[in-house]
Amino acid sequence: MAFLYITEQGAILRKTGDRVIIEKKGVVLGDIPCLKLDTILLFGNVQVTTQALGEILEHGIELALFTLAGKLRGQLTPPKAKNIPLRMRQYEISQDRDAALQMARAVVCGKVHNAVAVLRRFRNNHPQAVALEDIRVVEETLPRVEQTTSLEELLGVEGIAAARYFRALAAMVPPDAGFAGRNRRPPRDPMNALLSFGYVLVGNELQSLLDGMGFDPYLGFYHQVDYGRPSLALDLLEEFRAPLVDRFSANLLNLGVLRAADFAGGPEKGVLLRHESLRRFFPAFEKEVTTPVSLDGEELTFRQLFRRQAERLARALLAGEPYECFRWPS
């Protein structure tokens, strides 16, 4: 199954038979059978006909709409059978302070472990770049995470780990990217623009996956309920931030796939990828999430890992077994 990204401004998504076509000013830019599609993502000024929407829904295809800057506007999700026992259990655990905290701690443990693993792997190839002290400080928060007795305390420990991690991550990014740490709303440098964009893309994918499996993607354990926020998807995103989005973003800049000229805007109004640069970003992103990686003797893509973690989460809720986070090898 494939993900279709449409960024051509002024394009129209239509249907013909059981196929969708992308058209602009009477010229067909693409013609794809619906059976080959899993998700369609539209960016900016891209129109969709009512007939195309109907065909997309009939084929069980997800549709997500983004601004050209990469902000998720919303999703069109085909009707799917909902796993009511799973949702009921999710609601029950969310109301159990100790059980919810246990789930939240597992999420943060996965996030911190993977952040350390990414830094260590980079340092193996570039010993002078990342300071061992920075890695040590991040790693030392792991036992503290396990010992937290409240969500507020857990948030504080995670904040300490994240601040030091991003300081170390700066050593993995070319100096001309201007990255000195995490900033957002708006992102003020190319690396932060890539991080924000990547988090939105992966978060959207996880949200659709969780919804399709019967979870309530808006009810999380680490991320608390907030109007319009897919908190459970953000929980699952935590363990994929460093090994997928952060590492991928740094590689794009280090390998010269994207350069400073590929970004528009400035620090005050925010930095974002230029429209024409998205044509290089999306193929690279698809390659990243569909290329198998070796994990404990298995060859799995990140997309397969998304589903595996969602299935582990379902078992943890329904069978009462501890949630096993995804661990990136160091």
Give the CATH number for residue 240.
1.20.120.920
User: What pLDDT shows up at residue 145?
Assistant: 92
Beta bridge partners of 272: 264
User: 271-298: buried (b, 16+ CB within 10 Å) or exposed (e) per residue?
Assistant: bbbeeebbeebbeebeebbeeebeeeee
Beta bridge partners of 19: 16, 33
- Do 57 and 91 fall into the same domain? no
- Do 67 and 159 fall into the same domain? no
Domain of 33, CATH number, reads: 3.100.10.20
- Do 176 and 30 fall into the same domain? no
User: What pLDDT shows up at residue 227?
Assistant: 67
Task: Count the domains in the chain.
Answer: 2
Tell me the three state secondary structure of residue 328: coil
User: What pLDDT shows up at residue 162?
Assistant: 93
- Do 67 and 124 fall into the same domain? no
User: What pLDDT shows up at residue 129?
Assistant: 77
Question: Domain ends where: 76, 106, 128?
Answer: 76
Domain containing 139 equals 84-319
The CA-based angle 79-81-82, given to 5 degrees, is: 110
- Do 156 and 51 fall into the same domain? no
- Do 102 and 170 fall into the same domain? yes
* pTM for this entry: 0.87
- Do 99 and 244 fall into the same domain? yes
User: What pLDDT shows up at residue 267?
Assistant: 64
Tell me the three state secondary structure of residue 190: helix
- Do 39 and 109 fall into the same domain? no
User: What pLDDT shows up at residue 80?
Assistant: 66
Question: Domain ends where: 57, 76, 95?
Answer: 76
Question: Domain ends where: 47, 76, 105?
Answer: 76
- Do 190 and 223 fall into the same domain? yes
- Do 185 and 264 fall into the same domain? yes
The answer to whether residues 38 and 26 touch, using CB atoms and an 8 Å cutoff, is no
The CA-based angle 167-251-247, given to 5 degrees, is: 55
- Do 163 and 137 fall into the same domain? yes
- H/E run at residue 151: helix 151-169
User: Does a structural domain hold residue 244?
Assistant: yes
User: Does a structural domain hold residue 170?
Assistant: yes
End-to-end CA distance of the chain: 31
User: Does a structural domain hold residue 325?
Assistant: no
The answer to whether residues 219 and 225 touch, using CB atoms and an 8 Å cutoff, is yes
User: What pLDDT shows up at residue 268?
Assistant: 66
- Do 158 and 12 fall into the same domain? no
User: Does a structural domain hold residue 329?
Assistant: no
For 323, which DSSP code? P
Tokens for 123, please give them: 């340092």
User: What pLDDT shows up at residue 156?
Assistant: 94
User: What pLDDT shows up at residue 178?
Assistant: 83
Residue 297 vs residues 111, 293, 294, 300, 303: alpha-carbon distances, Å: 22, 10, 6, 10, 17
Mark the ranges of the chain whose per-residue pLDDT is less than 50: none
